[in-house]
Chain A
Amino acid sequence: MPTSQPLAHKDASLFKQVLKAYETKQYKKGLKTCEQILKKNPNHGETMAMKGLIINALGRTEEAFAIAKDAVKQDMRSHVVWHVYGLLYRSEKMYDKAIGAYKMALRFEPESAQILRDLALLQIQMRDYHGYIETRKTIMQQRPQLRQNWTALAIGHHLVGDYANAEKVLSKFEDTIQGNVHKWDFEHWETCLYKNRIIGESGDTERALEHLNSIAKNTLDKTALYETRAEYLLKLGRMEEAQKAYQLLLDRNPERRAYYAGLEKAMGIDPSNRKAAKPIYDEYAEKYERCDAARRIPLDFLEGDDFKAAADSYLRAKLNKGVPSTFANIKALYADPAKREIIFSLVNSYNEEQEKEEPAETNGDGPKASQFRIWTLYFLAQHYDHYRTRDMTKALEYLEKAIKLAPKTLELYMTEARVYKHAGDLQTAMEKMDTARKLDKSDRYINTKTAKYQLRNDRNDDAIATMGLFTRNDVNPNPLTDLIEMQCIWYLTESAESHFRQKQLGLTLKRYATLLKIFDDWAEDQFDFHSFSLRKGQIRAYVDMLKWEDSLRSHPFYTRAALGAIEAYIYLFDHPTTSGEPELDKLSEADRKKYLKKQKRDETKAKEAAAAKAAKEKEERNKNASASDDTVKKEDTDPLGVELAKTKTPLEEAKKWLDPLVKMSGDTNARVQLIAIEVERRRQKWLLALKALKKAKEIDPQAEGIWEATVRLRKDVSALPTDAPSLSTDSRTLFEEELLPLLAPTADLAALTTDYENTHSGSPAHLREAARVRKVLGLEGFEDALMKSVKVEKAGWKDGVEAVRVAREVGVEERKVKEVAGGRWGRVAAFK
């Protein structure tokens, strides 16, 4: 034993009890036993370390670290002490430090399988592939009889792109089991497929196909087998075989778009003239009576009369069957005006036919309306609600007709609500959706929609009450807690956006903080799978999971939340406040008091709820005393986000969202770069701001906001003293030669702004931008530009709302904007 402090026999057995108590989460008992040992051996490092570990599990992290530090001092050469130190760091997610501590532990106990395994987990979590390979090599050499030890090593090689070694390692183990494989040895056949993927990725498709064929007979995941084979054949240009391979796949799943695409390629269909592909689709449409894809895909490439005939039979079939999503299924075709016209005239003609057949007044005594009748009317209503062909009156007319015929059909009311939403009448929209909800209270979908519409109308209390009809109130008396636990991204995002509209910064930031944590948790979720997946043997899924985790924050859920959160922090920076609620400064004394009182009340209520929950959980735990689990949950001390809104460093908080956002979406999304400029400009990081500007221009030179960013940056930068930016020589060269020219340093900004406005004279967003730019430059005409943004044809009611906001910003009378906007969108409450 490397420890310098051996215990007497009795104490050593007590120490074993401590370990057991910790493993079974009987922390109090463990702690007691620790104290017992320490009474006799007050400086026993390993016992101290265990004590620290237990105290950490009880939620007293700081104390735990202090004890562990002491423990290290007492017994520097004990692997236990270092291992515990590593575990503490790991529990705090300080993985680098944990890795360091484990390595120290291994110096004193190089053979410890447990520590090696723990180290490997951290290395893969941190994507330290080379470290992982080394650790895994040692583990494999210790226990070469275990397959997963070889597989893990191969994964390491694979992830650094060393295909040759990855394959070699897998083959070596295979050699040891020659011929002794059971038909249902999942791990074996999966590892074979994994090896095949490695060969494929190495680029040697020929050999990959050969290998795939050699394992084909016994491969269990048939879908993967056939898909991979088809891809290889296509890559190798063996078209006839590729055709067969894709046909086989389509017979298994005729709704998979990628298989049709593969088959088209294999048949040499020219992507710019896909008409020749029609027979392929006819074949599958005939073969599979209920197949949608084979009927829908040709509508994408057929034209003229061919299109008309195909669309006619497609639409009739769907409407006859009463498929509510018929319009959604063909909506994408509306981008093509000719197709849009054909579709409309077809459905319109169905309606006219039926109207002729129908007696003028049915009075409800006539025969029940057919599915076809109802869903045709529904389709037409959706047509008139579509943004390219919108006509609110007509949409409502068709819905009304349909509702008369089928008053219990929820979809009709849902669409009615939608029509009102599109008109900006959020109150009526919300009410209509609630009407639909009441028709089927057992349907969560409609319940969800209602809550969403309530949030859009900033009725936050109603929304949470609606959600509460379906959340697990037995587990969490507060519906929001349940939604957070179940990671209900959509609700949190909509709620944050609603609070921000109302400039309730505390609650806004609270929701965003919750969202940020959900993404952190998702990243953390992978940890357990580093060991779990190796045991399960589902290696391809594991490797795919690692890749997904690396790009987790490229998901649109993240992008939307990040843009919103950053905007809120920027707002906070621009409107500094001590109360945490910038809007408070504008209220009258009486209103402010009223608001603060309500806030206080809400806070007390929220805190009470949290305390009640903690108490209930404790009670639960005590009830299940046999499986005693002393884990403590930390209580939320800031349920309304008051503290969050008091942050002194809003921009640094914004950066937490921004950095992953730029990394994941910064190459494709100009908006991401534009918001980066806003943050960096305020942080006075000119180099970063200019780099972002450059990138934004590369992605989309016409994107709204680029001109404004250019003007503002030029203003900022030119105001700097000449020697101001403390840059290295390289950075200075980049700054001066590449980035500064982006700011059109010598151009006449006023003239360029006029040009800009003329170029984008039809775009409301660009016009608002022009108004702001004119203000920044002290030019005339900002009011004109702003008013124009509400008047242009393309403007919608949301542009009106935005214009009101900008009016406030640039000092135009809100009333003027509201007048015009209100004249155009009379149903919008914000213009009244």
Chain B
Amino acid sequence: MDIRPLTPYDLPGIQNTNITNLPENYFLKYYLYHYASWPSLSFLAVDVATNKTVGYVLAKMEEEPSDGIPHGHITSLSVMRTHRRLGLAEKLMRQSQKAMVEAWGAKYVSLHVRVSNTAALRLYRDTLGFDVEKVEEKYYADGEDAYSMRRDLSFLIEPEEEEEEAEGKKKKKKAKKTKKEGDEQEEDVDIDGDEPEKLKTKEEGKLKTYKLGRQLGVSDLQEVDGRA
């Protein structure tokens, strides 16, 4: 197994892993949009023998956080059933969260999970340290509710330090600490992905098109960002 940052060459493989494992799917442009906007936040796990993608985390920064606090969001995370119990989900998440803090100043990370997906809920809560923030009613297209979960990332924020020689011991301790949290749970589940269409208008009721995922792509984002 090899865990590495996303490159555009990996996008078709990630899309394939997603539609193999999860009911929430997106066309390639949506993955490309993540890559083009936050290239350092997404990671994948590759089976080195076959060179196939067996897991990925697709992540972003919340563009206009309603609470004004910069934070990351996990759009989708999944691991092939054949490659579970290797701790891949946790390893992928850790890389992504670290990048959220370092490159984007994220204070916490959020995600959605189906209320019926108890296995994923357990993984997020017991292994990955997430807490349930609230229930979002009818978040999914089929009418199911979602838990909105979040994890505080301050444990990853390092004091202003010279990275130079500081590697070694300090980080080792930290690694140990988080290791305990994880322990033997491991992922045993599909994990979960964001509802593709749900990111529409809702938030502030403003008249802005913010449909992502299915029908639309980046062209509609331009309206949000305004012209240069």
On whether the beta carbons of A557 and B8 are closer than 8 Å, the reply is no
B2 sits at the interface (CB 8 A): yes
- Any B CB within 8 A of the CB of A222: yes
Specify which chain B residues have a CB less than 8 angstroms from the CB of A547 in the assembled complex. 8
Contact A255 B91 (CB under 8 A): yes
Q: Which of A368-427 contact B (CB under 8 A)?
A: 410-411
Q: Is A529 interfacial (CB-CB < 8 Å)?
A: yes
Q: Which residues of B contact A186 (CB under 8 A)?
A: 103-104
**A540: which B residues are within 8 A, CB to CB?**
39
A536 to chain B, nearest CB (A): 5
Query: What CA separation (Å) do A525 and B35 show in the bound complex?
Result: 13
Shortest distance from the beta carbon of A481 to any chain B beta carbon, whole Å: 12
Are A293 and B20 in contact, CB atoms less than 8 angstroms apart? no
Q: Which of A328, A474, A538, A542 contacts B47 (CB 8 A)?
A: A328
A486-B25, A487-B15 given; A528·B219 CB < 8 A: yes
- CB of A223 within 8 A of CB of B8, answer no
How far, in Å, is A25 (CB) from chain B's closest CB?
Answer: 10
Q: Quick one: CB contact mask for B78-116 with A, threshold 8 Å, 1 for yes?
A: 001111111100010001001100111100000000001
* Residues of A287-302 whose CB lies within 8 A of B: 287-290, 292-293, 296
**Cβ–Cβ contact B214 & A525, under 8 A:** no
Give bound CA distance, A743 to B174, whole Å. Answer: 68
Who on chain A is nearest to B101 by CB?
A: A222
By the criterion CB–CB under 8 Å, are B37 and A488 in contact? no
Q: Is the CB of A287 within 8 A of B172?
A: yes
Closest residue of chain B to A446 (Cβ to Cβ) is B81
Contacts of B214 in A (CB 8 A): 475, 485
Q: Report whether B4 and A258 are in contact in the complex, using a CB–CB cutoff of 8 Å.
A: yes
Size category of the A interface is 35 or more
Q: What's the Cα separation between A255 and B5 when bound, in Å?
A: 11
Residue A632 at the B interface, CB < 8 A?
Answer: no
Using Cβ atoms and an 8 Å threshold, which residues of chain B touch A542? 36
Residue A490 at the chain B interface, CB threshold 8 Å: yes
A486-524 at interface with B (beta carbon < 8 Å): 486-490, 521-522
What 0/1 pattern do residues 537 to 570 of A give for CB contact below 8 A with B? 0101110110111000001010000000000000
A224 partner residues in chain B, CB cutoff 8 A? 40
Partner pick for A221 among B83, B84, B103, CB 8 A cutoff: B103
Q: A290-B87, A331-B49, A490-B16 are in contact. Are A548 and B190 (CB under 8 A)?
A: no
Q: Are B98 and A252 in contact (CB under 8 A)?
A: yes
* Closest Cβ–Cβ distance, residue A436 to chain B (whole Å): 10
At the interface, yes or no: A74 with Cβ under 8 Å from chain B? no
Most A Cβ at <10 Å: residue of B5, B12, B222: B12
Contacts of A475 in B (CB 8 A): 141, 214
CA distance A553 to B133 in the complex (A): 44
Q: Is the CB of A323 within 8 A of B85?
A: yes
Is residue A609 contacting chain B, with contact meaning CB distance below 8 A?
A: no
Tell me, rounded to whole Å, the shortest Cβ–Cβ distance linking A173 to chain B: 15
CB neighbours of A216 from chain B (8 A): 163
Q: B-facing mask of A236-259, CB < 8 A → 1, else 0? A: 000000001001100111011110
Closest partner residue, chain A, to B143 (CB atom): A474
Distance in angstroms between the alpha carbons of A220 and B100 in the assembled complex: 10
Q: A293-B1, A544-B7 are in contact. Are A490 and B20 (CB under 8 A)?
A: yes
Contact A555 B104 (CB under 8 A): no
Determine whether the beta carbon of A533 is less than 8 Å from that of B80: no
> Which positions 185-205 of chain A face chain B at CB distance < 8 Å?
186
Interface residue? A146 (CB, 8 A): yes
Tell me, rounded to whole Å, the shortest Cβ–Cβ distance linking A141 to chain B.
16
Tell me, in angstroms, the Cα distance from A488 to B17 when the chains sit together.
10
Which residues of A have CB within 8 Å of B21?
444-445, 448
CB of B1 within 8 A of CB of A538, answer no
Q: Chain B nearest CB: distance from A125 CB in Å?
A: 14
Look across to chain A and name the residue whose beta carbon is closest to the beta carbon of B209.
Answer: A627
Residue in B22, B117, B228 with the greatest tally of chain A CB atoms within 10 Å: B228
Contact A146 B95 (CB under 8 A): no
For the complex of A and B, the 9 pairs showing the least CB-CB separation, nearest first, are A548-B8, A541-B39, A255-B3, A332-B49, A445-B81, A528-B218, A486-B25, A220-B103, A525-B29
17 pairs across A/B with beta carbons < 8 Å? A146-B228, A224-B40, A252-B171, A257-B2, A293-B2, A325-B85, A329-B49, A411-B82, A446-B81, A472-B141, A486-B26, A522-B28, A529-B32, A541-B39, A545-B32, A548-B9, A549-B8
